[in-house]
């Protein structure tokens, strides 16, 4: 490791693999390359159910995107190559990529299967040197694993993460501290991590479309509308984030599982049984990771695609399967009181904490 420098600015890299699942498929089956490839549920000539997990950039040109019903993907591009997921493969490739990344800095944080942060402040003297290091990372991953990634470089995790998504695929975006405001201002608010569909709609209703609009907005009004998160959104819009890079901060903020019924159903016993199965899966994954949870969310998507999510935060952290099941059943009861048939059911636990007492932050 080279000597540290007397800069105050941190230099953080965010590495995000491009179209990860489909890239792994192309790597295993090179004949797929150049064709639109969709990973997800079986399309069954457009009658298939379930969703697109991801797709390569050729498929994205047809308008296909992750989370979309597989039947819509089929309508958009029936000639795409549709593959079911091979999670064992994705996990193996992910582990090898993470091992490569870890060599570059001990300040490393995995973020899901295909993303990671690296703090390279101590080993690079400026952003130019950090860019060279990022180029080496890209080459090493491509050489060893045959897949590309996009890297964002910034003075904190927030900026690095937004930057890595800026020039996908195979991108490299460098945002120095002096450029932060200019870089963020024109971007849509939903590029900020944690601003999802609902918050975006609310912000649009307030006339806030871009990150620049959000930065210029009154922090106290945002706090009135969104509580503590409002203040945080404002800080993020100004490009401010103190969060450190480190495994201790946790690799996930929630654990969930969901499934689409083979046929839409309003049979209460079928839905109830499926809910219990899903709870078991979530419980198993939480205990494997030694996690306690406090918030339970149930998601119900109806035949007409309207989707309701109901959450409850308990007054205590728990890892009890009974607590999970009971809470999920109560939440689902509210959501299943309508007459619509159910298409998809999901359960998620969040507000996680390691059983030994360590708090998991984003
Ligand atoms: P992402 O990094 O969000 O997507 P991506 O790598 O496929 O594409 P991009 O080039 O835009 O980064 O997610 C990583 C993998 O996680 C993705 O390949 C599939 C999986 N995934 C799901 O299983 N469900 C989801 O809803 C999303 C968004 C991703
Ligand atoms: Mg990715």
Instruction: Choose one of 59, 87, 115: the last residue of a domain.
Output: 87
Identify whether residues 344 and 277 lie together within a single domain: yes
**pLDDT averaged over every residue in the chain:** 91
Residue 13: helix, strand or coil by DSSP? strand
Identify whether residues 72 and 95 lie together within a single domain: no
Q: Is 166 in the pocket of ligand 1 (CB under 6 A)?
A: no
Is 314 domain-assigned?
yes
Q: Is 257 in the pocket of ligand 1 (CB under 6 A)?
A: no
Identify whether residues 95 and 73 lie together within a single domain: no
Check which CATH number belongs to the domain holding 198 and give it.
1.10.150.20
Per-residue model confidence as pLDDT tens digits over 261-295: 999 998 888 999 999 999 999 999 898 888 899 99
Q: Which two tokens stand for residue 243?
A: 């969060």
Per-residue model confidence as pLDDT tens digits over 68-127: 999 999 999 999 999 999 999 999 999 999 999 999 998 999 998 999 999 999 899 999
Q: Are 151 and 101 in contact (CB under 8 A)?
A: no
Contacts of 247 (CB under 8 A, 6+ apart): 108, 109, 110
Check which CATH number belongs to the domain holding 127 and give it.
3.30.70.270
Is 361 domain-assigned?
no
Q: Is 256 in the pocket of ligand 1 (CB under 6 A)?
A: no
Find tokens 């590495």 and name the residue: 15
Band of pLDDT at residue 340, cut at 50, 70 and 90: confident
Is 246 domain-assigned?
no
CA distances for 334 relative to 134, 162, 261, 337, angstroms: 49, 37, 19, 6
How many folded domains does the chain comprise?
A: 4
- Cα–Cα distance, 360 to 293 (Å, whole number): 10
Is 313 domain-assigned?
yes
Domain span at residue 306 reads 254-354
Three-class secondary structure assignment of 273-333 = HHHHHHHHHHHHHHHHCCEEEEEEEEEEEECCCCEEEEEEEEEEEECCHHHHHHHHHHHHH
115 is catalytic: yes
Q: Is 54 in the pocket of ligand 1 (CB under 6 A)?
A: yes
Identify whether residues 83 and 95 lie together within a single domain: no
Is 270 domain-assigned?
yes
pLDDT given at position 230: 93
CA of 64 to the centre of ligand 1 (A): 13
What residue owns the CA closest to ligand 1's atom 4?
Answer: 19
pLDDT given at position 362: 38
Is 242 domain-assigned?
no
Supply the DSSP symbol for 105.
Answer: -
Check which CATH number belongs to the domain holding 78 and give it.
3.40.1170.60
**243 has which bridge partners?**
none
What residue owns the CA closest to ligand 1's atom 7?
Answer: 19
Helix (H) or strand (E) holding 163: helix 157-164
């Amino acid at each position: 490791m080279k000597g540290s420098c007397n800069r105050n600015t941190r230099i953080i890299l965010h590495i995000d693999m491009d179209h990860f699942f489909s890239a792994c498929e192309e790597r295993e089956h090179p004949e797929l390359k150049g064709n639109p490839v969709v990973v997800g549920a079986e399309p069954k000539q457009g009658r298939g159910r379930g969703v697109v997990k991801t797709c390569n950039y050729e498929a994205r040109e047809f308008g296909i995107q992750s989370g979309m019903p597989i039947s819509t993907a089929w309508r958009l591009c029936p000639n795409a190559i549709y593959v079911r997921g091979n999670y064992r493969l994705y996990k193996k490739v992910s582990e090898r990529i993470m091992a490569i990344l870890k060599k570059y800095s001990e300040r490393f944080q995995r973020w899901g299967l295909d993303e990671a942060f690296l703090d390279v402040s101590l080993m690079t003297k400026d952003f130019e040197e950090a860019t060279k290091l990022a180029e080496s990372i890209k080459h090493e991953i491509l050489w060893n694993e045959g897949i590309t990634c996009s890297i964002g470089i910034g003075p904190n995790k927030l900026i690095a993460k937004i930057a890595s998504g800026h020039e996908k695929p195979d991108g490299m975006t460098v945002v120095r501290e002096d450029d932060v405001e200019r870089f963020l201002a024109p971007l849509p608010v939903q590029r900020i991590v944690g601003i999802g569909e609902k918050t975006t709609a609310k912000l649009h209703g307030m006339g806030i479309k871009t990150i620049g609009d959000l930065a210029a907005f009154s922090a106290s009004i945002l706090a009135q509308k969104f509580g503590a998160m409002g203040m945080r959104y404002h800080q993020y819009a100004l490009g401010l984030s103190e969060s450190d890079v480190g495994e201790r901060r946790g690799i996930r903020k929630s654990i969930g599982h969901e499934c689409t019924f083979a046929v839409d159903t309003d049979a209460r016993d079928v839905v109830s049984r499926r809910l219990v199965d899903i709870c078991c899966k979530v419980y198993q994954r939480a205990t494997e990771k030694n996690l306690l949870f406090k918030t339970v969310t149930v998601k119900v998507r109806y035949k007409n695609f309207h989707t309701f999510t109901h959450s409850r935060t308990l007054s205590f952290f728990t890892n009890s399967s009974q607590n999970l099941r009971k809470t999920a059943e109560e939440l689902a009861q509210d959501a299943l009181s309508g007459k619509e048939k159910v298409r998809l059911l999901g359960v998620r636990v969040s507000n996680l904490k390691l059983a030994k007492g360590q708090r998991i932050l984003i």
